[in-house]
Structure 1
Amino acid sequence: MDVVEIADLTEWDANDLGNLNLAVPLFAESLPFVLFPAPGARPVVTEKMAATVNDVLALKRKYTLTQ
């Protein structure tokens, strides 16, 4: 996902924290993400935030658990 795609899904709260939910393949479900701007920075999605989100989304399940 690029910065624009993530920004479109992000809602900034009164504390300038960005909140969004994304499907994470590793857990096979949608999980909340919270984006933290640098102190004093405007509440916008940065390239660094996008890279972090994409790193998490790229994690794959190595083994399947069976019961």
Structure 2
Amino acid sequence: MDLTRAIWRKSTRSGTQGDCVEVADNLPGVVGVRDSKDPTGPVLTFTPRAWQAFVAHTKRP
């Protein structure tokens, strides 16, 4: 999977101590998630639908 055009942004829920998750959702058909402390490390990829379901689930009380 080619993520070279990914535009990464830090999660609004990331901590101020460097415990950050970055998300790239600008690519068609894929959402990338990575650890900001290791930007050249592994990337989890999701379909946009699966990512939306994950985010919705994490917002549930």
Do the structures match in fold with TM over 0.5? no
More helix by share: 1
Computing the radius of gyration over CA atoms, which structure comes out larger, 1 or 2?
1
Higher relative contact order (CA 8 A, sep 6+): 1
TM-score normalised by length of structure 2 = 0.32
TM-score normalised by length of structure 1 = 0.30
